[in-house]
Amino acid sequence: MTTHVYNKLVRDRIPQIIEEKGKTCSIKILDDAAYHRELRKKLQEEWQEYLAASHDEERLEELADMLEVIYALANEHGASHGMLEELRHRKAEMNGAFAEKLLLLEVVERGKQPNE
């Protein structure tokens, strides 16, 4: 018998999927503070997996996983998917999105001399 220790936040159906494969697992229901900490860790985990992905399909899957975690975090902050999307849209209208691929190199303030 082999035991694998994970101690990480998983999607809701994972214990059921494990049991359907004839395995057993143990789980713990987290309190709100621990859940929030684990969501933040999960977002970092998914980000690292995205960075390590080697092809587009894998990268898209990791982005979808990150979205799921982001939606859960938004819910923890009292926001729905729709509220988060509305905020994203407002910010895009105000400041633009990232479609133009702009890299800001520097900003020079007019009228100021060096060492002022």
Arithmetic mean of pLDDT, 61-76:
97
Say if residue 104's pLDDT is above 70: yes
Q: Residue 85 domain-assigned?
A: yes
Residues 38, 9: contact at Cβ < 8 Å? yes
Q: Residue 35 domain-assigned?
A: yes
* Sign of the CA dihedral running 61, 81, 32, 51: positive
- Cα 72-95-114 angle, rounded to 5 deg: 120
Arithmetic mean of pLDDT, 96-108:
95
Arithmetic mean of pLDDT, 27-53:
97
Q: How confident is the prediction for the chain on average, in pLDDT?
A: 95
22: left (phi over 0), alpha (psi -120 to 50) or beta: left
Say if residue 88's pLDDT is above 70: yes
Domains: count for the chain: 1
Arithmetic mean of pLDDT, 54-82:
97
Arithmetic mean of pLDDT, 12-23:
97
Residues 73, 39: contact at Cβ < 8 Å? yes
Q: Residue 82 domain-assigned?
A: yes
